[in-house]
Amino acid sequence: MRAVAAALMGFAGAVVSVTPARAGDVAPLAAFVAAGDAVDAPLGGLSGNAARGRAIVLDRAGGNCLICHRVPVDSEPFQGELGPDLAGVGARLSVGQIRLRMIDQSLIHPQTLMPPYYRIDGLRRVAPRFAGQTVLSGQEIEDVVAWLRELK
C-alpha cells in the first residue's frame, strides 16, 4: 500500500495489487490505480448496480454505512452523524473519488475513522474467521459507488 500512499502525495499514479494473507483464503483482490485522491477505473472492470448499492448501504449487517453516515432515505431510522452526510455526495465528489474512499479512506486521511472496505493487510483486531477477507467485494464496492454517484 505504500505505492498508493506515494501516489496520493503527488506522484503520477501507482498500481496496487493486493493478495490474501494466506494462500487459498480468498481470490486475489483487483489491482487498482490511484491518481491524486481517486481511483478512476472500476475494480476489476466491473459495472456497478445502483439498486444493489443502495441495499448494501442500508444493510446494517453488511456495509453498515448508517452507523456513521446519514443518507437521503427517510424510512431509515437511527442514521449516524459521525461521518459526512451522503446526501449530494455524487455532486461533491467524482466517481473515482467515491471509489477510493470506499476502497480505503486512510490512503487520503491516515487518521480517518472510516474502515477500509477493500483491504486485507495491515488491519488490527480482525476476528480469525474474517482474516484475509475484505469487508465488501469488488462488485459490492462498484455497486455502492453506482448508488452514491446518483445522490446529487
Digit-by-digit pLDDT tens for the chain (152 residues) are 333 333 333 333 444 434 333 334 456 799 999 999 999 999 999 999 999 999 999 999 888 999 999 999 999 999 999 999 999 999 999 999 999 999 999 999 999 999 999 999 999 888 998 889 999 999 999 999 999 999 99
Residue 37 sits in which domain range? 2-150
* Helix, strand and coil percent figures for the chain, each rounded to 5: 35, 5, 60
Residue type, 94: S
What is the per-residue pLDDT for 27?
62
CATH number assigned to the domain comprising residue 75: 1.10.760.10
Task: Give the span between the Cα atoms of 77 and 79, in whole angstroms.
Answer: 6
Domain count, the chain: 1
pLDDT of residue 51: 98
Structural contact between residues 132 and 25, judged by C-beta atoms closer than 8 angstroms: yes
Distance CA 45, CA 65 (A): 24
pLDDT of 112 reads 94
Q: Can you give the C-alpha Rg of the chain in angstroms?
A: 15
CB 100 within 8 A of CB 108: yes
The confidence score (pLDDT) of residue 26 equals: 56
